[in-house]
Chain A
Amino acid sequence: MNFDYNEEQQLLADSVRRYLAKSYDFESRRKIVAGEGWSAEAWAQFAEMGLTGLPLPAECGGFGGGAVDLMGVMEAFGEALVVEPYLATVLAARLVARAGSAAQKQAILPAVAEGRLKLAFAHTEKGARYRIDAVRCSFSGGKLQGEKAAVIGAPVADKLVVSARGADGIGLYLADRVPAQPYRTIDERLAADLVFSGAPAEKLSGGLERVEEAFDFGAALACAEAVGAMKFACDTTLEYLKTRRQFGVPIGTFQALQHRIVDLFIEAEQARSMACLACSKVDQAGDARERARAVSAAKIKIADAARHISQESVQLHGGMGMSEELKVSHTFRRLTALAGEFGDADTHLERFARL
């Protein structure tokens, strides 16, 4: 039993935090968001630090890491509200690593590890909500037909992993980028709706169970990212309670506010525990049921805590919490998005009860 990162994981998380503190502070991030919505310079640094290759196999230039190895990185990204499509890229790259042919892997993964390629996982379709088997996109004769929506990272992705219905049910396909209608998500990330009208694609192995596994991996890391964002929200709100003065005293002297912020810290601890569980089980679970149960439980807790902490951190900041100028309002936006990413609380309550 051990709940800490190992030395390697801790060193990596520390160096990511150092980099973000130096080069990805709130002002730098604001400039990135106001510009193209991602930073080539930051991406090159992620690659330099080994992040883009972290979950990829060693023979493809990666480090063979699991969810726990990525957890500290995702926490740091959550604290800094990183907008680059990192999770989208590693999620799709991991699918290629697990389901691709030797040639596909060699063509894509070393380039991802080196930071030369970005990927996206095009799965969600309009109206599907969080049902992962609601796929209408189709594949036949080597070509994809249909539409995908809200694909995170798609506007800058070089390659896509796309779910579609083929001859033997839902499968995964590797495609080049297609023209995209880009937009920004509520938390300022790049996303796009995609139309496939006969785009050529290559089949990857596996079916729905692989999509589900990828979603669990993504959900576990979204939990870790949320834990980082929650930590920032709690810390900055505590700081505000200590410095903001009204009625001649710091507002943190008021018991009504003290008890509320204590509850936020308790929720953040509980959420962290569940993120640990989800990441550990994604790496180590004996079977799919055990993994899915842990991830759904974690996602329920993280979604509830994300809502509670984001809402209260804004409320306790008063008017300033609403202001676009303060990072806490952007953390609110990220936590709101993360609460629903890879399935909201209701979706996971449904799955948890079935398992």
Chain B
Amino acid sequence: MDLNYSAEELAFRDEVRSWLQANLPADLREKGERYAHFAKEDLMRWHRILAKKGWVAPHWPKEWGGTGWNVVQRYIFEEELGFAGAPPLIPFGLNMCAPVLLRFGTEAQKKRFLPRIYNGDDFWCQGYSEPGSGSDLASLKTRAIRDGDVYRVSGQKIWTTLAHYADWIFCLVRTDPTVEKRQEGISFLLIDMKTPGITVRPLILMDGAHEVNEVFFDDVKVPAENLVHEEGKGWTVAKYLLGYERMNTGRIGESKRQLARLKEYASHLKDDVRFRDRLSRLEVELMALEITNLRFLDRMRRTGQPPGADVSMLKIKGTEIQQGLTELMMQAADPAANDELTTAIRKRYLSMRKTTIYAGSNEIQRNIIAKMTLGL
């Protein structure tokens, strides 16, 4: 048993760390510090800096721009991004659409979309949830009817993150409403957001921010060549994505940065035993999660097995910690203050409530563990 990174891994971490120090633009870092909103230009500027360095999609195969790093190096890289306070890399293209294309796409689809995702030419969003289909995703109703060379799509998606920035959306749609097993009537479609018939309407969340949207499809004609995998096999694709190697689900690096920030910000409360103990327990939980995450990673590296339900545990604990940190931050703030940073801290508390709901609510994650790991 040796909990330390190897000398090579430490050297790699230092390389990443010093590169980030030199190349993360100060204004972007500072926006993160203020908990300010990242505009589309901010996100894409950072994306392109990483793309130019060749580090924007480490997990892709080398021929498409991947770095060839092993799982531990990839984890270190992602943690360092979080720890440095870099703007988020929007996952819909890089981590969701691309892996799907790499696994199920045709050569033509790969050639058409992957380089543009890599270079940040196309901004992607994800069309899964519908008003009547949240946790019960397989009940989705957005209809796609094959008509010659096109699918005609009608229906509605909801909670679509950054759809107002997006050039493309990947969607789960119902191509066959008659099959008995409803999962078998679902297909995976790539849709150009500029296609006539698409309307994006903002949904403002409780922190006042515009991040998610409703997306309406009114007889939208989608070329049949934009179908990924076979018709009726969309659920297979969606499940593949759920099991995809998302070892950064715990967001340890980002939480470590927030913890350090909180300790500094709450230094006036260091003799308040009640506050201090809550902070300590949260720190301990984060220490434990980091080791748990590394244990899973180590097992994955040695067995070559995908992480499976482990990811669900990382998601549950990671999001609980993120929420705990934002809550303590808000409590540490002067209740009489009304400046920009304090307001941003309060809004962040509001905003972060989403983390235990999105990407499969924590209740759904518990269902997954109960079923897959515990056999209940």
A residues with CB within 8 A of B? 1-6, 9, 68, 71, 238, 241-242, 252-253, 255, 258-259, 261-263, 265-266, 269-274, 276-277, 279-280, 297, 300-301, 304, 349, 352-353
Verify B284–A2 contact, CB threshold 8 A: no
**CB distance B370 to A270 under 8 Å?**
no
Establish whether residues B289 and A300, one from each chain, have CB atoms under 8 Å apart when the complex forms: no
| B366 and A258 within 8 A (CB) | yes
Q: Tell me the smallest distance from the CB of B264 to a CB of chain A, in Å.
A: 16
Assembled-state Cα–Cα distance A241/B370 (Å): 11
- CB-nearest residue of chain B to A238: B374
The CA-CA distance from A263 to B6 in the complex, in Å, is: 32
* Cβ of B268 to closest chain A Cβ, rounded Å: 15
How distant is A298 from chain B, measured CB to nearest CB, in Å? 8
B1/A3 in contact, CB under 8 A? yes
Q: Are B4 and A274 in contact (CB under 8 A)?
A: no
Q: CB within 8 A of B370: which of A1, A258, A279, A297? A: A258
**A352 and B280 in contact, given A2-B298, A266-B316, A270-B288 (Cβ under 8 angstroms):** yes
**Once the chains bind, are A1 and B9 in contact (CB under 8 Å)?**
yes
Q: A3-B298, A266-B316, A276-B3 are in contact. List 6 more A-B contacts (CB 8 A).
A: A6-B1, A255-B370, A261-B374, A273-B295, A274-B288, A349-B281
Determine chain B's interface SS by DSSP, over half rule: helix
> Contact between A258 and B367 (Cβ–Cβ < 8 Å)?
yes
Say which residue of A4, A9, A241, A270 sits within 8 Å of B289 (CB atoms): A270
Q: Cβ of B212 < 8 Å from any Cβ of A?
A: no
Looking across the interface, which residue of chain A has its beta carbon closest to that of B365?
A262
**Given known contacts A280-B2, A280-B3, is B374 in contact with A274 (CB within 8 Å)?**
no
Distance A349 CA – B278 CA, assembled complex (angstroms): 9
B260 within 8 A of A: no
User: With A259-B366, A269-B292 known to touch, is A1 a contact of B280 (CB < 8 Å)?
Assistant: no
Q: Please, which residues of chain B bring their CB within 8 A of the CB of A238?
A: 374, 376
Decide if B285 is an interface residue (CB 8 Å cutoff): yes
Q: Which residue of B lies closest to A66 (CB)?
A: B1
Distance A205 CA – B109 CA, assembled complex (angstroms): 74
In whole angstroms, what is the CA distance A353 to B284 when docked? 11
The binding surface of chain A is classed by DSSP as helix
Contact of B2 with A2 in the complex, beta carbons under 8 Å: yes
**Quick one: given A255-B367, A259-B366, A352-B280, are A273 and B292 in contact (CB under 8 Å)?**
yes
A3 touches B294 (CB 8 A): yes
* 5 closest A-B pairs by CB: A273-B291, A258-B370, A270-B288, A262-B366, A3-B295
Residue B265 CB within 8 A of the other chain: no
A277 touches B291 (CB 8 A): yes
Residues of B within 8 A of A270 (CB): 285, 288-289, 292, 317
B28 at the interface (CB under 8 A from A): no
Interface bits B300-326 vs A (CB < 8 Å: 1, else 0)? 000000000000010011000000000
Q: Tell me the bound Cα distance from A175 to B301 in angstroms.
A: 51
Q: Which of A1, A263, A273 has the most CB of B within 10 A?
A: A1
Bound form: Cα–Cα A293–B72 in Å: 26
From known contacts A1-B298, A3-B1, infer whether A353 and B280 are also in contact, taking CB-CB under 8 Å: yes
Can you report 19 A-B residue pairs in the complex whose CB atoms are below 8 A from each other?
A1-B3, A1-B72, A3-B294, A3-B299, A238-B376, A241-B376, A255-B370, A261-B370, A266-B316, A266-B369, A270-B292, A273-B292, A274-B287, A276-B291, A301-B284, A349-B277, A352-B284, A353-B276, A353-B280
What is the number of residues of chain B that contact chain A, defined by CB distance less than 8 Å? 36
CB <8 Å contact, A266 and B313: yes
**In the docked arrangement, what's the CA distance between A94 and B172, Å?**
63
User: Which B residues fall within an 8 A CB radius of A?
Assistant: 1-6, 9, 72, 276-277, 280-281, 283-285, 287-289, 291-292, 294-295, 298-299, 313, 316-317, 363, 366-367, 369-370, 373-376
Given contacts A3-B295, A265-B369, contact A274 B280 (CB under 8 A): no
**B370 smallest CB distance to A (angstroms):** 4
> What's the A-B contact tally at a CB cutoff of 8 Å?
109
- Determine the distance from Cα of A253 to Cα of B375 in the docked complex, in whole angstroms: 10
Contacts of A280 in B (CB 8 A): 1-3
CB distance from B367 to the nearest CB of A (A): 7
Output the least CB separation between B322 and chain A (Å). Answer: 16
Closest chain A CB from B79 CB (angstroms): 13
Measured CB to CB, the nearest residue on chain A to B9 is: A1
Which has the most chain A C-beta neighbours within 10 Å: B9, B277, B283?
A: B277
Our pick among B4, B276, B283, B376 for the contact of A253 (Cβ within 8 Å) is B376
Give the residue among A71, A238, A262, A349 with the most B Cβ atoms within 10 A: A262
Q: Is the CB of A1 within 8 A of B366?
A: no
Q: Are B2 and A262 touching (Cβ within 8 A)?
A: no
Tell me which of B1, B295, B299 contacts A5 (CB under 8 A).
Answer: B1
* Min CB–CB distance B356 → chain A (angstroms): 13
| Candidates B1, B287, B374; contact of A2 at CB < 8 Å | B1
Measured CB to CB, the closest approach of chain B to A203, in angstroms, equals 36
Q: By the criterion CB–CB under 8 Å, are B285 and A1 in contact?
A: no
- In the bound complex, how far is the Cα of B366 from the Cα of A48, in angstroms? 44
Hey, which chain A residues are within 8 Å of B313, CB to CB?
Answer: 266, 269
Q: Are A266 and B317 in contact (CB under 8 A)?
A: yes
| B374-A265 in contact (CB<8A) | yes
Residues in A neighbouring B6, C-beta threshold 8 A? 1
Given contacts A241-B376, A270-B289, contact A277 B316 (CB under 8 A): no
**Contact in complex: A258, B376 (CB < 8 Å):** yes
Residue of A nearest to B320 (CB): A266
**Complex alpha-carbon distance, A276 and B294, angstroms:** 12
Contacts of A271 in B (CB 8 A): 288
Q: Give complex CA distance A252, B371 in Å.
A: 10
Docked Cα-Cα span, A238 to B374, in Å, equals: 8
Q: Which of A2, A262, A273 contacts B369 (CB 8 A)?
A: A262
- CA of A259 to CA of B280, assembled, Å: 26
Residues of B within 8 A of A255 (CB): 367, 370
Bound together, the chains give a CA A252 to CA B4 distance in angstroms of 39
Chain B residues with Cβ under 8 A from A253's Cβ? 376
Taking CB atoms, residues of chain A closer than 8 Å to B284 are 274, 297, 300-301, 352
Residue contact B280 to A277, C-beta cutoff 8 Å: no
